[in-house]
Structure 1
Amino acid sequence: MRRLLVLVAALSLTACSQAPATQEAGQAAAPQAGFPVTIENCGRKLTFDKPPAKVVTGYHPSLETLLALGLGDRIAGRTNFSESPFLPGQKDQYAKIPEISDTIMPPQKEIMLAQGADFVLDNAMAGFDAAGGYATVEELDSAGSPVYILGGWCSPEEVLQFTIDDTFTDLRDLGAIFGVPDRADTLISDLRGRLADVKKRVEGRTPVKVLATDGGKGPINAYGGSGITNQMIALAGGVNVLADVKGDYTEVSVEKISAAQPEAVLVSDYATLRGEDMPSSPAKAADAFAIARNSPAAEKQRYLALPVAAQHPGYRNILAITDIARFLHPDAFTQ
Structure 2
Amino acid sequence: MSLRRLSLLLTGLMLSSPLLAASTQYPLTVDNCGVPLTFAQPPQKTVTIGQAATEMLYALGLSQQVIGTSLWFNDVLPQFKDANDHIARLADNTPSFESVTGKRPDFVPVQFEWMVGPQGAVGTRQQFHDLNIPTYILPSDCEGKNNRVGADGTRLAAFKVETLYKTLAQLAMIFDVQDRGQQLITGYQARLAKAVEQAKTQGSHNVSAVFWFSSPDLNSDPFVAGRKGIPNFMLDTLGMRNVIDSDEEWPTVGWETIAKANPTILVIARMDRRRFPADDHEKKLAFLTSDPVTRNMDAVKHDRIVIMDASAMESSVRLFDGIEQLGAAVQSATPAP
Q: 1:205 touches 1:237 (CA, 8 Å); kept in 2? A: no
Match of residue 202, structure 2, among 198, 205, 208: 205
Unpaired segments ≥5 residues, structure 2: 1-22
Q: Which piece of structure 1 moves more, 156-165 or 180-189?
A: 156-165
Partner of 2:104: 116
Partner of 1:103: 92
TM-score relative to the length of structure 1: 0.80
Q: 2:24 touches 2:174 (CA, 8 Å); kept in 1? A: no
Partner of 1:93: 83
Partner of 1:280: 280
Measured in 1, the distance between the counterparts of 2:298 and 2:269 equals 20
- Aligned runs of 1:316-335 on 2, under 5 Å? 316-329=318-331
Q: What code does the residue aligned with 1:285 have?
A: L
Q: What code does the residue aligned with 2:110 have?
A: D
Q: 2:203 touches 2:331 (CA, 8 Å); kept in 1? A: no
Aligned length: 296
Match of residue 190, structure 1, among 174, 187, 190: 187
Q: How well do the aligned residues superpose, as a CA RMSD in angstroms?
A: 2.6
CA displacement at 1:223 relative to structure 2: 1.4
Q: Secondary structure at the match of 2:232?
A: helix
Measured in 2, the distance between the counterparts of 1:193 and 1:229 equals 19
Partner of 1:303: 305
Measured in 1, the distance between the counterparts of 2:288 and 2:59 equals 34
CA distance change for structure 1 residues 252 and 113 in 2, over 3 Å: closer, same or farther?
A: same
Q: 1:60 touches 1:104 (CA, 8 Å); kept in 2? A: no
CA distance change for structure 1 residues 153 and 270 in 2, over 3 Å: closer, same or farther?
A: same
CA distance change for structure 1 residues 285 and 224 in 2, over 3 Å: closer, same or farther?
A: farther
Q: 1:223 touches 1:249 (CA, 8 Å); kept in 2? A: yes
Q: Secondary structure at the match of 1:117?
A: coil
Q: What code does the residue aligned with 1:104 have?
A: N
- Percent identity, aligned pairs only, is 25
- Aligned runs of 1:43-192 on 2, under 5 Å? 43-79=34-70, 81=72, 84-99=74-89, 101-106=90-95, 108-128=96-116, 134-154=122-142, 155-156=146-147, 160=155, 161=157, 162-192=159-189
CA displacement at 1:301 relative to structure 2: 2.1
CA distance change for structure 1 residues 279 and 183 in 2, over 3 Å: closer, same or farther?
A: closer
Q: Which piece of structure 1 moves more, 62-71 or 249-258?
A: 249-258
Partner of 1:20: none
CA displacement at 1:115 relative to structure 2: 1.9
CA displacement at 1:113 relative to structure 2: 2.1
Q: 1:229 touches 1:248 (CA, 8 Å); kept in 2? A: no
Measured in 2, the distance between the counterparts of 1:130 and 1:199 equals 38
Measured in 2, the distance between the counterparts of 1:280 and 1:196 equals 32
Measured in 2, the distance between the counterparts of 1:315 and 1:309 equals 9
Match of residue 29, structure 2, among 15, 34, 38: 38
Q: 1:168 touches 1:188 (CA, 8 Å); kept in 2? A: yes
Q: What code does the residue aligned with 1:76 have?
A: I
Q: 1:304 touches 1:327 (CA, 8 Å); kept in 2? A: yes
Partner of 1:5: none
CA displacement at 1:296 relative to structure 2: 2.3
Q: What code does the residue aligned with 1:287 have?
A: F
Measured in 1, the distance between the counterparts of 2:249 and 2:98 equals 33
Kindly name which structure, 1 or 2, has the bigger radius of gyration based on alpha carbons.
Answer: 2
CA displacement at 1:147 relative to structure 2: 0.6
